[in-house]
Amino acid sequence: MHLESLPLFPQFMRVLCSYRISSFQVSDILAKVILLGVENNNINYQNIYRLVQRLVKEGYFIIDDAKNPYTTYTETDEMMK
């Protein structure tokens, strides 16, 4: 399945284009997506989480284990290409 076909992909990409993701939690990204008019519910949280995990798997995000007791994510240089 392509990333573009996942739920909330357009809103997620607007957030990625507007912010430099550095030590963000999934809830931080969801908060930015909610500002675009998306409903704040568990299903949308799970959709954003899945998108973030796909970006980790494909090398666009890394997990910052040492920076926080919670899982945080940072963009890689691959995201800028």
Q: What is the mean pLDDT of residues 12-16?
A: 93
The token pair at 54 is 């796909």
- What is the rounded distance in angstroms from the CA atom of residue 35 to the CA atom of residue 29? 10
Q: What is the mean pLDDT of residues 15-43?
A: 94
59 near 52, Cβ under 8 Å? no
pLDDT score at 51: 95
Range of the domain at 31: 3-80
pLDDT tens digits for range 41-75: 999 999 999 999 999 999 999 998 776 678 999 99
CATH classification at residue 52: 1.10.10.10
Indicate the pTM of the whole model: 0.87
Domain count within the chain: 1
